[in-house]
Amino acid sequence: MRAVVQRVRQASVRVDGETVGAIGMGLLVLLGVEQGDTEADFTYMVDKVAGLRIFEDAAEKMNLSVEDVAGNVLVVSQFTLLGDCRKGRRPGFTDAAPPEQARLTYLKFAKALQDRGLTVATGRFQAEMDVQLTNMGPVTLVIDSRKRF
């Protein structure tokens, strides 16, 4: 699994002009599910996102997680995170999980964050989405469950 995690003041996602998910302060997570992802990849990503210490404490040090600050999470499926741009000019997406597997994992990921007590909103799987955010910091990180970078 691969994710781009952004610390946000607010974020929302719209489909066909309708807001389908919106949050206040917290994390926007763009999530890509890869072929061959295991339960270990899933657990790693849920724990990493929920526990990532990127919110400031009273001393203005990034020591607090989204759980610590009672923040929200907006999860948006994004298979293009698995795009391979090493050859040619058109990305290849053969590493992305098939749509049904990716959809189930995406929904399971959002539910796992909810089960940890977080308020979670989502986009709409396989829809053309408009994502808006106010990046806080900015703080943007890329997480790969197979730790390739």
78 is catalytic: yes
Phi/psi for 80 (5° steps) reads -65, -15
* DSSP letter (8 states) at residue 81: G
Catalytic residue among 78, 105, 109, 122: 78
79 is catalytic: yes
80 is catalytic: yes
Buried b / exposed e over 7-40, threshold 16 CB at 10 Å, is: bbebbbbbeeeeebbebebbbbbbbbbbeebeee
Which H helix or E strand runs over 4? strand 2-15
Catalytic residue among 19, 80, 114, 132: 80
Query: Are the C-beta atoms of 96 and 102 separated by less than 8 Å?
Result: yes
Catalytic residues: 78-80
